[in-house]
Amino acid sequence: MKFGIVVDEGPYTHQASDTAYQFTKAALEKGHEIFRVFFYHDGVNNGTRLTVPPQDERNIQERWTKLAEEHKLDLVVCIAAAQRRGILDENEAKRQGKDANNIAPGFRISGLGQLIEAGIVADRLVVFGD
C-alpha cells in the first residue's frame, strides 16, 4: 500500500509527530511505500535544524532526517506555514532578504500542491494532529 502522511502538530507539543514517525517507520518495515510526508500548520516545526532537545530526550527532527535518508523519503514543509513560523530554506531566505536559513537536512519547502498530489497518488492519506 502507498501512504501519504500529513503531520499537523509540532514535535514537542503533542504526541502526533511521534506517532506519525512511528507509523511511517512501521509501514516501511512492513514493506509499504511512503509517497510523501507533508508537514503542515505547527507540524512545520519538525523541519527546523535549530531544535536542541535535552540530551536525555528524543530528537524528533533528527529521527525524521535519518528515516528520510535511509528510505529516500520526501519530507515536505508547507511554505506558507513555514514562513509564518520563521522556517526558511536557502532560497526562501534570500528571496525574503534574510541572512540565514534553518531547514533541517532531508526536508524541503514547497506548496500545498505537494499535499494535493500526495492525496491523489497515495492509496491512503493519513493525518496526524488536528
Catalytic amino acids?
A: 78
Alpha carbons 69 and 36: distance in angstroms, whole number: 13
Q: Phi and psi at residue 46, in whole multiples of 5°?
A: -70, -20
